[in-house]
Amino acid sequence: MDLATALGLGIGLVIVMVVMIMDGGSPMELFAHPSAILLIFGGSIAATTITTSLETVKSLPKVIASAFSVLKMDAYASVELLVTLAEKARKDGLLSLEEESKKIEDEFLQKGLMMVVDGLDPVQIRSVMETNIEQVRAQRRVGYSFFNTAGGFAPTFGIIGTVMGLISVLKQLDNPSMLAKSIAAAFLATLWGLLSANLLYLPLGGKLKAKSDEESHIRYMQMEGLLAIQAGENPRIVRDKLSSYLPPRPAQKAAAGTEVKAQTAPNESEG
Amino acid sequence: MDLATALGLGIGLVIVMVVMIMDGGSPMELFAHPSAILLIFGGSIAATTITTSLETVKSLPKVIASAFSVLKMDAYASVELLVTLAEKARKDGLLSLEEESKKIEDEFLQKGLMMVVDGLDPVQIRSVMETNIEQVRAQRRVGYSFFNTAGGFAPTFGIIGTVMGLISVLKQLDNPSMLAKSIAAAFLATLWGLLSANLLYLPLGGKLKAKSDEESHIRYMQMEGLLAIQAGENPRIVRDKLSSYLPPRPAQKAAAGTEVKAQTAPNESEG
Amino acid sequence: MDLATALGLGIGLVIVMVVMIMDGGSPMELFAHPSAILLIFGGSIAATTITTSLETVKSLPKVIASAFSVLKMDAYASVELLVTLAEKARKDGLLSLEEESKKIEDEFLQKGLMMVVDGLDPVQIRSVMETNIEQVRAQRRVGYSFFNTAGGFAPTFGIIGTVMGLISVLKQLDNPSMLAKSIAAAFLATLWGLLSANLLYLPLGGKLKAKSDEESHIRYMQMEGLLAIQAGENPRIVRDKLSSYLPPRPAQKAAAGTEVKAQTAPNESEG
Amino acid sequence: MDLATALGLGIGLVIVMVVMIMDGGSPMELFAHPSAILLIFGGSIAATTITTSLETVKSLPKVIASAFSVLKMDAYASVELLVTLAEKARKDGLLSLEEESKKIEDEFLQKGLMMVVDGLDPVQIRSVMETNIEQVRAQRRVGYSFFNTAGGFAPTFGIIGTVMGLISVLKQLDNPSMLAKSIAAAFLATLWGLLSANLLYLPLGGKLKAKSDEESHIRYMQMEGLLAIQAGENPRIVRDKLSSYLPPRPAQKAAAGTEVKAQTAPNESEG
Amino acid sequence: MDLATALGLGIGLVIVMVVMIMDGGSPMELFAHPSAILLIFGGSIAATTITTSLETVKSLPKVIASAFSVLKMDAYASVELLVTLAEKARKDGLLSLEEESKKIEDEFLQKGLMMVVDGLDPVQIRSVMETNIEQVRAQRRVGYSFFNTAGGFAPTFGIIGTVMGLISVLKQLDNPSMLAKSIAAAFLATLWGLLSANLLYLPLGGKLKAKSDEESHIRYMQMEGLLAIQAGENPRIVRDKLSSYLPPRPAQKAAAGTEVKAQTAPNESEG
C-alpha cells in the first residue's frame, strides 16, 4: 500500500468537504448537478481516449492500482544479490551462476544473468537490456500520460461546462429566482474540472511517473551489476559501484535488511 | 478502423449533447450562430495554413483518415520474418536472401534487405535507413503539427469571437430584450473554440503523433534486425534483441499469430 | 509567391470582416480607436526591439518578404546535380570538378565543392560546412524569433490597453451614455492584441521557422552529397543516400523535373 | 544563514502588509477566513503528497532549513586542497595520499581519494563518482520538486476556493448585506493561492534548485581534480583546470581565504 | 550604447503615455496609487531575491548597464588577429607567439594563447577553455534569469494587488462615490504588473540572454582558432573555418574594418 497516494487523496477530499461546510454549505452540493460531473469526466476521458488506444483504456484499472501499491523491487536487496553473485562468480567461475539464475524470480534479472552465463558480448547484453528497460518505460509512459493528458483536458471541459451553463442562464433572465441557482450550477462545472485535474489526474500522473523513473533507475543499476559480474570485477568494487546508485540506506531499514523478502530467492541474497 | 479515435470522438460529442439537454437546452443551439462556427474553424485553419504549405493543407483528408485507421505494420510479424531471414542467411548465406527480398511487400524492408544483400558497409546502411526513418517522421510531424497548431489557435479565436460579440453587444444596451441573447451568442464563440480544440484538433494531433512514434519505433527495430542479419548473428539472439523492442505479446493475439496477414509474404513469415 | 502565406492571411482577414458584418457591425469599427492599434503594434514591437538589435529591426521587411516567397533551393535538382558530379568524379577524377564548380551559382555548394577539389580533410570540410549551416540557421532564428516574441507580447499589450481603458471608464460612471461605448473601446485593445498575434505574428514566425528548417535540411543533404563524392562513392549509392533525405518526389513535379531551372547550372544537372 | 532567502521572504511579507494598510485595510483580514488558508495549504500539500512518498514529506523540514542556510562546501578551499594534494602526489607518490585522505572530513572527497590511492581504473572512478553526484542531485530534485509542484497546485486551489465561495454566495442573493462580505471572502482564497505560490513555494523551489546545481558543479570540479591528481598532472595545470570551473574569487574573500574553515582539514589546505 | 535597448524602452514608454492621453486621461494617473507600484516592484524583486543570492542582487546595476551598452568583443577583428597569429606561427614557429600574447588585452585569448605556446595537450586546452566559457555563461545566466524570474512574478503580483484592492472595495459598497475610484485603483496593480514585466523585466532578460549567447559564440570561435593555430593549419583554412562562425560582414563595416579599435592590440590585428 502506497500510503502517500492514499493519504494525500483522502486528506485532500476531506479538506474540500470541510471547507464547504465551513463556508456554510454541504459537500452534497457538489453532486447537485450530475450534468457537470458527466461532462467533466466523460469529456476529459473521451478526449484522452482519442489520443491513445483501447488497450490503454482497458489497462487503466491496473495502472491506477499500481499508483496505490508500493514498488515490488527492493533496490537494496538487489545490491546484496548482485554482490553475492559477483563473489560466487569469482570463486567458482561464471558458469556456476547458471544454477543461481534459476532461483531468481525476477524475469529481467534472470534473462540478464542467462545472457552473462551464455558468454554473450557485453555490448550486446547492454544493448538488449537497455532496449528492454526503455521499452518498459515507454509502456509505463503510455499509462501515466493518460492521466496527464486528462488533467490537461479536465479544466477546459470545466470551462466548457460553465460557458454552456451561462449561455442557458442568459435565456432565463426573466426568471430571477432561477438565475442565481443556474449561475451556481454553471460554476460547478469549473469546480469539478479543477478538482478532478488537481486532486486526481495530475497527482496520479505524477506518482506513476515517479514510480516508473524509480523502476528504470533500479533496472539500470541491475544491468551495471550484471555487466560488472561478467567483467569479473572485485565484489567490493561491485558493491561500491551499485551503492553509488542509491541513497544511503535508512538506519531502521538497514537493520531489518536481512529479513526483507525481496524479489530474489532469499536464501541467496545474504549468501 | 482505430476504435479509440472513433469511440472517443463519438462519445465525446454525445456527452456534450446530453449535457446540453440536461441543462434544459438543445444541441441545436450550438448551431444557432453560424458566424461563431465560421470564425473558429475559418480563423484557426487560416492561421495554421500560414505556418505551412498548400501541399500540407491538401494532404489533410488523408492525414485525418490515417487517425481513424490502424497502423498497417505488424511488429510481431516483422520479428518472425526477420528471424526467418536470419535463419536462412545462416544456412544458405546472405546472397540467398535476394530471392526473399522480392517477396517482401513493404518497401522500407525490401530496400534495406537489398542493401544487406549487396554487401554495403553496415555504417552506410544504418545511415541511409536512419535518414529515411527520420525523413518519414518529419513528414508525419508536418501533418500532426497542423492539428496541434490549430488546437492552439482555436480557443484564442473563440475569445476573439466573444470579444467581437461583446463589443457589438455594448452598442445595443438600449435594447435589453436583445441583450441577453447577444451575450449568449458571444459566448458561443468561446464554446466552439474550446470544443473544437479539445475534442477535435488536440486529440487528433495526439493520436497522429502516437502513431508516428510507434511507426518509427518499429522501423528502428526492423533496421536493427537487418543489421543483425548482415552481421551473421545467431537467430536466437536476433529474436531476443528484437523482442526487447516490443511489449510481451498479448496471449490471444499470439495464438492467432500464425494466421495474421502481415505486410510480409505470409508463407515466409513462419518459415 | 508562397500561396499558403498569402491565402491564409487573406482568407483569415476576410473571415474576421465577414463575421463582424454577420454580427451586425462593420469592419470599420476595428479602426474606430487608433489608440488601441498604436498601443498593440507600438508596444509589442518596442518591447521586442529591446530584446534584439537595430540591425534585426532593419532587416524585418526582407524577412517578411521571404515569408511570402518560395524557397529558392530545389532539393530534387540538387540531388541530380550531386549525382552528376559523383559520376564525373568517378570517371575523370576529383580534380575534373574544379571546372564544374565555377558553373554553380549557389555559393554554399560552390565553396563546399572547392574544398572537396582542394583535397581538404573530410572532418575539416564537415566541420566548416556544419558551422556555416548552423550560423545561417542562427541568423534566421533571430528573424523569426522577432515574430514569436512579438506574438507573445501582443496579447498582453491588448490586456494592458483594456485595463487602461477600463480604468478611464470608471472615472466616467456618472455619464452612462458614454459608458458602453468606452467599455467597447477598451475591449478593442484585447481584440487587436489577439488578432495581431494570431493572424500575423505567430503564423509568420511559424512559417519562417519552417522555411529555415527546410533550408538547413537541404544544406545537410548537400553536405553529405559532397562528402560522398569526395569519398569516391558509387553514384547509385549517392543517389540512394540523398534520396533518403527527401519525401518521394510528387509525380507531376518529377515529370517536369528536367525542365526545372534550379540554382545549379541546368545543362549540368541532367549530365 | 542564507540572507537572500530570509530577507526576500521577510521583505516580501512586510510589503504585502504595508500595501494592505495603504489600501485602508489591515493585514489581519488575511486571516479572517481560515477556510481559505486550510484549503490552499491543505489542498496543495495533499495533492503534492500524492505525487511523492511519505519519506519526502517527512524530510521537508530539513529541506526547508537547507534553503535558509549557506552551502557547507567552499569551492575555493577545495581548489587549494586539491592543488596541495597534487603537489604531494608529485613529490611523494600517489600512495602518500592515503594518510591525507584520513584527514578529509568530506565523505565524497575522501571516498574518491581512496579510490585514487587504491589505483582503480580512472574510467571506473569517473563512473562511480558521476553516478554518486547524479544520485545526490536526484535526491535533491525530489525535495525541490515538492515546492515547485505545490507552487503549481496552490493558485488552482485558490481558484477552486473562490469558485466554491462564489457558488455559496449565489445562494444568499436575497441577503445583500452579507453578499459583499462573502464575495470578498471568496477572493481571499485566490489571494492565498497566489501569495503562497509566489512568496513561498516557487521561490523556495528556485533557491533549492540553485543550491543543488551549485553543489553538483563543485562535485564535478572535485572529481576532475582527483582524476587529474591520479593522472599525475602538473599542479599548476590542475589549478588552471579547476579555476576554470569557478568565477574569479572576489577580492575580500580571497584575502580572507587562508583563514576560511572549510570542509577540509585546514592545516592541509594551504600546504 | 545599445540603441535597440534604449530606443525600445523609450518608445514603449512614450506610446503608453500617448495612449493614456488619447484615452482622455493623463500619464500621471499611473502614479496615483503608490501602493500598486510598491507591491509590484517590491513583491517581484523580493520573491526573485529568495531564488538567488545577495551577490546577484548587488550585481544587478552592472547587469542592467550591460544591457544598454554594446558587446566589447569585435568578432571580425578577432578573426583578423587569429589569422595573423596563424601566419606568424607558420613562419616563425609557435614559440614566436609568446611575445604576441603579451600584447593581447583580452584575458581569455591571452590565457588560451599561453597554453598553446606552452605546448599543452589540445584536448586539455579545449577542456579548460570550454569549462571557462560555460562558467562565464552560467554567471551571465544567473544575471538574466533574475529578470526572467521577476518578469514571471510581476503579473501575478499585479493580480494579487488587484484582488487585494477588490476585497477592500467590497467593504465600501455603501459608499458608491468611492467605489469606481477604488476599482480603478485595484486595476492599476494589474497594469503595473503587466507593464513592468512586458516593457522592463522580460525584454531586458531577453536582451541579456542574446548578448550572453553572442559572447559564448565568439568565445567558441576564438577557441577553435587557437586550436587550429596549434595544429599548424594553413592560415587560409583558419580564415575559412572562423568565417563560417560569422554572418558575412556588412559592407560599410567591412570598409571601416581596419580602423576598428578592437580588444586586441590594433597594430597586430592587420599584420
Give me the helix-helix angle, D3-22 and E43-50, nearest 10°. 160
Give me the helix-helix angle, E235-243 and E75-92, nearest 10°. 160
**Long-range CB contacts (within 8 A, 24+) of A111-114:** A112/A222, A112/A223, A112/A226, A113/A85, A113/A226
Average pLDDT over residues A168-179: 74
Distance CA E233, CA D257 (A): 43
Please name the helix (run of DSSP H) or strand (run of DSSP E) that holds residue B96, with its range, or none: none
Q: Return the higher-pLDDT residue of A255 and A238.
A: A238
Site from E2, E175, E198 to mutate, C interface, most C CB atoms within 10 angstroms: E198
Give alpha helix (H) positions in B38-121: 43-50, 54-68, 75-92, 97-103, 107-117
Q: Return the higher-pLDDT residue of E48 and E28.
A: E48
Predicted pLDDT of residue E270:
35
Average pLDDT over residues E7-33: 88
Grid cell at residue B105: 511487400
Give the D window 17-56 contacts with A, CB below 8 Å: 34-35, 38-39, 42-43, 46-56
Least reliable range by pLDDT among B122-126, C47-51, D27-31, D267-271: D267-271
Q: For residue C166, what pLDDT band results from cuts at 50, 70 and 90?
A: confident
Predicted pLDDT of residue C250:
58
Chain D partners within 8 Å of A180 (Cβ): 170-171, 173
Predicted pLDDT of residue E28:
85
Predicted pLDDT of residue A78:
93
Q: For residue B87, what pLDDT band results from cuts at 50, 70 and 90?
A: very high
B189-209, pLDDT tens digit by residue? 999 999 999 999 999 999 999
Predicted pLDDT of residue A250:
58
Residue E266 has pLDDT above 50, yes or no: no
D127 CA to chain A: closest CA distance, Å? 8
Predicted pLDDT of residue D166:
87
B119: left (phi > 0), else alpha (psi -120 to 50), else beta?
Answer: left
Distance CA C136, CA C149 (A): 20
Return the exposure string of E34-48: e unless at least 16 CB atoms fall within 10 Å of the residue's CB, then b: ebbbbbbbbbbbbbb
Residue carrying C-alpha cell 503562497: D196
Grid cell at residue A35: 450534468
**DSSP secondary structure letters along E69-109:** S--S--HHHHHHHHHHHHHHHHHH-GGGHHHHHHH---HHH
D114 CA to chain E: closest CA distance, Å? 25
Average pLDDT over residues B64-72: 88
Are C249 and C79 contacting, i.e. CB atoms less than 8 angstroms apart? no
Predicted pLDDT of residue D193:
94
Give me the helix-helix angle, E122-170 and E107-117, nearest 10°. 160
Q: What integer best gives the mean pLDDT of chain C?
A: 86
Distance CA B227, CA B131 (A): 15
Predicted pLDDT of residue A249:
66
ipTM: 0.81
Residues E38, D23: C-beta atoms closer than 8 Å: no
Residues B7, A173: C-beta atoms closer than 8 Å: no
Comparing alpha-carbon positions, the chain D residue that sits nearest to E153 is D198
Using a 10 angstrom Cβ sphere, with 0-12 exposed, 13-18 middle and 19 or more buried, the burial of residue A171 is middle
Average pLDDT over residues D131-142: 93
Average pLDDT over residues D244-266: 52
Chain E touched by C117 (CB under 8 Å)? no
Residues D43, A187: C-beta atoms closer than 8 Å: no
Predicted pLDDT of residue E115:
92
Measured CA angle at E104 (ends E100, E108), to 5 deg = 120
Least reliable range by pLDDT among A178-187, B54-63, E25-34, E246-255: E246-255
Q: How far is CA C96 from the centre of its chain?
A: 36
Average pLDDT over residues B225-247: 91
Q: Which of B158, A1, B128 is nearest to C239 (CA)?
A: B128
Q: Which of A208, A212, A238 is nearest to A224 (CA)?
A: A238
Q: What percent of chain D has pLDDT over 90?
A: 59
Predicted pLDDT of residue B249:
67
Give the D window 212-251 contacts with E, CB below 8 Å: 217, 237, 240-241, 244-247, 250
Predicted pLDDT of residue D249:
66
Average pLDDT over residues C12-22: 91
Predicted pLDDT of residue B151:
95
Q: For residue D89, what pLDDT band results from cuts at 50, 70 and 90?
A: very high
Residue C85 has pLDDT above 50, yes or no: yes
Measured CA angle at A152 (ends A148, A156), to 5 deg = 160
- Tell me which chains share at least 3 CB pairs under 8 Å with chain C: B, E
Q: Return the higher-pLDDT residue of A263 and D200.
A: D200
Angstrom distances, CA of residue D19 to CA of B77, B220, E36, E160, E170: 70, 61, 8, 11, 17
Residue D260 has pLDDT above 70, yes or no: no
Q: What percent of chain B has pLDDT over 70?
A: 90
Residues C135, E3: C-beta atoms closer than 8 Å: no
Least reliable range by pLDDT among A239-243, B255-259, D168-172, D224-228: B255-259
Q: What integer best gives the mean pLDDT of chain E?
A: 86
Chain C touched by E109 (CB under 8 Å)? no
Are C172 and C179 contacting, i.e. CB atoms less than 8 angstroms apart? yes
Residue carrying C-alpha cell 485602508: D24
Q: Other C-beta atoms within 10 Å of E166: how many?
A: 19
Q: Which of C35, C12, C33, C17 is nearest to C199 (CA)?
A: C12
Are B160 and C187 contacting, i.e. CB atoms less than 8 angstroms apart? no
Residues E15, C43: C-beta atoms closer than 8 Å: yes
Chain C touched by B159 (CB under 8 Å)? yes
Are B115 and B125 contacting, i.e. CB atoms less than 8 angstroms apart? yes
Predicted pLDDT of residue E248:
75
Q: For residue A128, what pLDDT band results from cuts at 50, 70 and 90?
A: very high
Distance CA D195, CA C29 (A): 40
Residue E263 has pLDDT above 50, yes or no: no
Give me the helix-helix angle, C43-50 and C122-170, nearest 10°. 140
Are D77 and D260 contacting, i.e. CB atoms less than 8 angstroms apart? yes
Q: Please give the model's pTM, rounded to 2 decimal places.
A: 0.83
Going by beta carbons, is chain C in contact with chain E, meaning 3 or more pairs sit under 8 Å apart? yes
Residues C164, E19: C-beta atoms closer than 8 Å: yes
Site from B1, B15, B19 to mutate, A interface, most A CB atoms within 10 angstroms: B19
SS (H, E, C) chain A: CCHHHHHHHHHHHHHHHHHHHHCCCCHHHHHCCHHHHHHHHHHHHHHHHHCCCHHHHHHHHHHHHHHHCCCCCCHHHHHHHHHHHHHHHHHHCHHHHHHHHHHCCCHHHHHHHHHHHCCCCHHHHHHHHHHHHHHHHHHHHHHHHHHHHHHHHHHHHHHHHHHHHHHHHHCCCCCHHHHHHHHHHHHHHHHHHHHHHHHHHHHHHHHHHHHHHHHHHHHHHHHHHHHHHHCCCCHHHHHHHHHCCCCCCCHHHHHCHHHCCCCCCHHHHCC
Sign of the torsion formed by the C-alpha atoms of C189, C192, C194 and C196: negative
Distance CA C52, CA C56 (A): 7
Distance CA C257, CA C266 (A): 11
A221-253, pLDDT tens digit by residue? 999 999 999 999 999 889 989 999 988 765 544
Chain B partners within 8 Å of A167 (Cβ): 25, 29, 184, 187-188, 191
Return the exposure string of B93-116: e unless at least 16 CB atoms fall within 10 Å of the residue's CB, then b: ebeebeebbeebebebbbbbbbbb
- Identity of residue B107: E
Predicted pLDDT of residue A193:
95
Chain D touched by A170 (CB under 8 Å)? no
Chain D partners within 8 Å of A3 (Cβ): 54
Grid cell at residue D194: 497566489
Predicted pLDDT of residue B11:
94
Residue B258 has pLDDT above 50, yes or no: no
Return the exposure string of E195-233: e unless at least 16 CB atoms fall within 10 Å of the residue's CB, then b: bbbbbbbbbbbbbbbbbbeebebbbebbbbbbbbbbeeb
Q: Other C-beta atoms within 10 Å of E271: how many?
A: 12
Are B229 and B82 contacting, i.e. CB atoms less than 8 angstroms apart? yes
Grid cell at residue C179: 459608458
Chain C touched by B131 (CB under 8 Å)? yes
Distance CA B262, CA B105 (A): 10
Q: Which of E21, E227, E232, E265 is nearest to E126 (CA)?
A: E227
Average pLDDT over residues E246-263: 51
E120-133, pLDDT tens digit by residue? 999 999 999 999 99
Chain C partners within 8 Å of E12 (Cβ): 42-43, 46-47, 50
Chain B partners within 8 Å of C206 (Cβ): 50-52, 149
- Identity of residue D46: A
Any idea how long chain B is?
Answer: 271
Grid cell at residue D89: 602526489
Going by beta carbons, is chain E in contact with chain B, meaning 3 or more pairs sit under 8 Å apart? no
Q: For residue A84, what pLDDT band results from cuts at 50, 70 and 90?
A: very high
Average pLDDT over residues C52-58: 91
- Identity of residue C194: L
C194-231, pLDDT tens digit by residue? 999 999 999 999 999 999 999 999 999 999 999 999 99
Angstrom distances, CA of residue B46 to CA of C7, C28, C30, C155: 8, 21, 20, 19
**Residue B171 DSSP label:** T
